[in-house]
């Protein structure tokens, strides 16, 4: 069997089960793709090809020994790279920083362990901005991660390497994390599906930035995203908080169409005054609204009750400043200037002020979620207010310019990290003038990932994206 590197992860798993292809052949296919493409795109920061081949060989042996392929885990033999913000036993974790320790991890993070139990072969580690603090990766440690649709553009971030690896056919699926948009932004920039689950749905070793951050994946298909959520979303008795394991399979829930007559709202104006929204991003939202209305859903003219932007930003920033807390640094002087500023501001904030910021975000979140539930079943927004910016767009304006100049990339996504609501970016748009993909974000009430996946699955049929391939990688 000839392996198409753009094959969805579930299809690869099915081919392995049918013994049409070996996990070793699959691993070699993607390692060869990384050899060929990564010098241009810079998606991988740690390679352990010998480990990959050993794991693939063990997976191949397990297929031969299995009495029934139904006994194999769901993604048996499928390669998956891990974002370099979580631990893999025996591999270093750089956190995208020249200042971080390179001591190999003693144990894998809980989310990585779930991937292993699902049968994935870990394919290496992908690039991230330093500490995941900004939505692009251009730094001293990892270089510049580039967009396969246009290498002079950013692929978004902070899960930059994850998006590039899947979009360019260097991996069929990739782990990602999202604290302010870092799954959905690269999904939008690179033409992929990216789901940020409900706060607490997926646990890891600790609760990060007051629950704003979560793990997930970037994929080519909604079905792959749903199946990966089945793997990751389960009760974790050791977690600070963890819901019960979902009552049913997210993948199987997609077989049931979303109920007709959903109340569908739209937010196309920036939640922060002064940020213009690109017409291509608004047009992509309009296309989805038309498709949903044609499918029997009901547009509603309701306004999401958002707090004053400066109040929400102030509270959010106080919490965001502590994002790098607990990361072991071998050389703090090599931390990037914007993260040094955040670190200094965090240390200068007293515990009373910090606790008030946490309380304020909870009050704001409750107000937004209650208003959403009263007025909507589904909200449609641009994933980003802009097309993928050029490499180096963030320069100029002082130490905090990487953060301040990237607001248009995360202005729609970060709001739902605060509320904890599930949100998915789907690549329904395509800007003909630039040849760049355009993502649209769908938002649902807490714990309604099933509804998001059902609607995203409908859009995958009505506004298909599966046949698109980036110029770099074809």
- Burial of residue 10 (CB within 10 Å: 0-12, 13-18, 19+) is buried
Catalytic residues: 83, 158, 182
- Report which of 217, 174, 172, 222 is spatially closest to residue 197, judged by C-alpha positions: 217
The phi and psi torsions of 131 (rounded to 5 degrees) equal: 60, 10
Angstrom distances, CA of residue 381 to CA of 186, 210, 270, 344 = 16, 24, 10, 34
Cβ(163)–Cβ(176) below 8 Å? yes
Q: Which residues make beta-bridge pairs with 436?
A: 431
The phi and psi torsions of 279 (rounded to 5 degrees) equal: -55, -30
Q: Which residues make beta-bridge pairs with 459?
A: none
Cα–Cα distance for residue pair 127/93, rounded to 1 Å = 11
DSSP structure string for 60-95 = HHHHHH-S-GGGS-TTTT-EEEEETTS--BTS---T
Preceding omega of 361 cis (within 30 degrees of 0): no
Cα–Cα distance for residue pair 36/170, rounded to 1 Å = 9
């Amino acid at each position: 069997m000839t392996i198409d590197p753009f094959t969805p992860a579930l299809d690869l798993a099915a081919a392995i089960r049918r013994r049409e292809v070996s996990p070793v052949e699959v691993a070699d296919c993607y390692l060869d793709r990384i050899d060929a493409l990564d010098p241009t795109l810079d998606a991988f920061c740690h390679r352990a090809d010998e480990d990959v081949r050993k794991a693939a060989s063990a997976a191949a042996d397990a297929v031969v020994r299995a009495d029934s392929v139904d006994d194999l885990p769901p993604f048996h033999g499928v390669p998956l790279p891990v974002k370099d913000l979580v631990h893999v036993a025996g591999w270093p974790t750089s956190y995208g920083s020249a200042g971080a320790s390179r001591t190999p991890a003693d144990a894998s993070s809980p989310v990585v362990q779930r991937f292993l139990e699902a049968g994935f072969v870990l394919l290496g580690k992908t690039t991230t901005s330093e500490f995941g603090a900004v939505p692009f990766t251009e730094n001293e440690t990892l270089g510049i991660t580039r967009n396969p649709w246009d290498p002079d553009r950013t692929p978004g971030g902070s899960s930059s390497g994850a998006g590039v690896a899947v979009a360019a056919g260097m991996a069929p699926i990739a782990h990602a994390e999202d604290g302010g948009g870092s799954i959905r932004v690269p999904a939008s920039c690179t033409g992929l599906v990216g789901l940020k689950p409900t706060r607490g749905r997926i646990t890891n070793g600790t609760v990060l930035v007051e629950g704003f951050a979560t793990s997930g994946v970037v994929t080519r298909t909604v079905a792959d995203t749903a199946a990966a959520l089945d793997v990751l979303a389960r009760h974790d008795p050791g977690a600070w908080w963890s819901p019960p394991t979902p009552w049913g399979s997210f993948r199987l829930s997609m077989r049931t169409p979303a109920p007709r007559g959903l109340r569908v709202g739209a937010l196309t104006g920036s939640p922060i005054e002064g940020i213009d929204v690109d017409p291509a991003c608004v047009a992509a939202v309009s296309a989805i609204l038309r498709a949903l209305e044609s499918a029997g859903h009901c547009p509603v003219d309701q306004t999401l009750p958002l707090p004053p932007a400066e109040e929400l930003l102030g509270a959010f920033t106080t919490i965001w400043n502590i994002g790098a807390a607990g990361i072991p640094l071998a050389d703090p002087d090599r931390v990037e200037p914007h993260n040094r500023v955040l670190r200094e501001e965090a240390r200068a904030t007293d515990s009373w002020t910090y606790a008030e910021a946490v309380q304020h975000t909870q009050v704001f979140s409750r107000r937004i979620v209650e208003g959403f539930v009263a007025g909507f079943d589904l909200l449609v927004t641009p994933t980003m207010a802009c097309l993928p910016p050029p490499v180096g767009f963030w320069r100029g304006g002082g130490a905090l310019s990487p953060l301040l100049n990237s607001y248009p990339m995360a202005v729609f996504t970060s709001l739902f990290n605060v509320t904890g609501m599930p949100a998915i970016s789907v690549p329904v748009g395509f800007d003909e003038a630039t040849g760049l993909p355009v993502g649209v974000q769908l938002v649902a009430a807490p714990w309604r990932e099933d509804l998001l996946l059902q609607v995203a699955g409908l859009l995958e049929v009505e506004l298909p994206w599966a046949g698109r391939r980036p110029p770099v990688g074809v």
